[in-house]
Amino acid sequence: MSTDFSVTKFLRWTTVGVMLMFVVYAGIIIAATWPISELSIAKVGTFGDSFGPLTSLFTGLGFAGLLATVFLQREELKLNRSELKETRSEIQLQNQTFHRQRFEDAFYQMLKLYKDNLRELSTRPHEGDSHRVSGIDALKFLNTKFEKAWDKHLFHKFPEEEGERSEYLYVLVSTIKSVFVRQTRYVETLSSILVLIEDECTPSDRKETYWRILASQLTSYEIKYLFYQALIAPEFTPLRNMMFQSTVLQDRLATLDIPDPHRRSFEAIWNIKLPKMRNQFTSPLSSAQIKMARKLIQKRRNEELAHGHDTKDGVESSINVSP
């Protein structure tokens, strides 16, 4: 409202100023030509022509004003475009923030549901037994049961010959299916979390962040159980993708006591190479330092053993020479 009032005031005073200039200019001309000796149309025309310079001045000022108006409108359009661009950026940032918050809410809710389903997971240690073990204890029991069942087959190496390899894989898959009972709600909840991460996290670094959060919630018994489920279940593609892409899960798998022939079986069936089993505890010393330390330790032990034998022989000698 204040802007409209300023523009109106400016136009009003401009009109008054222009009219005043014409009146003053006309008064100057009349004063300069006074007294008027003849009043005719020709003299009036000559008097009107005398306003030509003033008219030209205002025509030039009007054209300059028009150019100034065009320039101001151009600057205003630039400002509007800049503000519109900033507004779009803010809206895009708000949408990204809202999308991330919505994803994280869904992720942590599903993670909580996963932990609840884990606690409700149960199995019977013996057929016909009313007692059930639940949660992590149930997965621990199933892993132990599988290890005992597999040891009965006496397969110690992964066969290289194709026919023997097919037999090995068949026996392995059959044993897994007979021991590891499929816990549908537990497995499907985890699969849904992995699908959510795969679909909603476009940059790979964001996927690794949430894979790391998920892997930190998994115990070794869960990872072993899920490994064998991924080995035999074709529909468990999201977990196999995580095993293939996530460095944190590969590190966890490398520290578990999963036999290397089973890892090679996973590669043979799904064409996904898993890291070999390694020691869970790493040393800050280099291999050369460790080798040197072991040599010194062994040398010291040998010297202590030799010193012990010499002491024992000396005691026996003193006993033999005693009267």
* Helix H or strand E segment including 5: helix 2-33
Q: Specify the 3-state DSSP secondary structure of 123.
A: strand
Per-residue pLDDT tens over the stretch 105-128: 999 999 999 999 999 988 888 777
pLDDT band at 52 (very low <50, low <70, confident <90, very high): low
**Residue environment code for 151-176, b if the CB has 16+ CB neighbours within 10 A, otherwise e:** eeeebeebeeeeeeeeebbeebeebb
Q: Specify the 3-state DSSP secondary structure of 161.
A: coil
> Higher-confidence residue: 21 or 107?
107
| Distance from the first to the final alpha carbon of the chain | 131
* Prediction pTM value: 0.63
Per-residue pLDDT tens over the stretch 187-245: 999 999 999 998 888 777 788 899 999 999 999 999 999 999 999 999 889 889 888 88
Range name among 29-33, 176-180, 191-195, 255-259 with the lowest pLDDT average: 29-33
* Domain spans in the chain, listed from the N-terminal domain onward: 2-99, 115-270
Range name among 86-95, 219-228, 304-313 with the lowest pLDDT average: 304-313
Which tokens belong to 180? 């590891």
